[in-house]
Every structure is written in structure tokens, then in C-alpha cells.
Amino acid sequence: MLRKLFLEHPEEVGESYAEHFRAAGGFGIAMIVGGVACVLHAFVPRMFVTTGSGTIKRLYELMVAKRAAKREANIEMRSIEWVI
């Protein structure tokens, strides 16, 4: 039960619990900060004009880059397996 709660998903994405905590926590904090900026922008349109969209773009790029790096590592591992 505890393994399923705390370790299964991080292992599925190729991370330790600590690595996943750091990555997910960082994403969460960035989303909160971006969300607060969007709410403030709603009240005062001249404030934080691009902060929300910039946050979304940055997080998306990080996620895509991480997926690409993982895919490359998997391809490299498969090619090494075939050589052996």
C-alpha cells in the first residue's frame, strides 16, 4: 500500500521519490506563483501582462525537454542491450 502511494509513480517516470518530490514541488510552486500573478492581472490588467503565459510556456518546455531526455536515454539503453 505505501509503496503504491509513494514509490510506484516516481518509478514509472524514472525518478526516485526525492527527485519526483523536487520536480513536482517545483512545478506546483511555479503554478501557484503564476496563478497569483494571473489573479492580480485580472484586477490590474497592466500588471503581470505575460507572467501567466510565460509560466505555462516555461513549465511545458521543461516537461517536454524531460520527456525527450528520458526517451533518448531509453533509446540509448536499448541500443546498448542489442550490442551486448
**Which amino acid makes up residue 19?**
E
Which residue, among 58, 67, 10, has the nearest Cα to 31 in the 3D structure?
Answer: 58
Q: Is the pLDDT of residue 84 over 70?
A: no
The mean pLDDT value for 54-77 works out to 81
The mean pLDDT value for 12-16 works out to 85
Average pLDDT, the chain: 87
Q: Is the pLDDT of residue 78 over 70?
A: no
Q: Is the pLDDT of residue 50 over 90?
A: yes
Q: Is the pLDDT of residue 83 over 60?
A: no
Q: Round to whole Å and give the CA distance between 16 and 83.
A: 28
Query: What percent of the chain has a predicted confidence (pLDDT) above 90?
Result: 52
- Predicted confidence at residue 74, as pLDDT, reads 65
Q: Is the pLDDT of residue 5 over 80?
A: yes
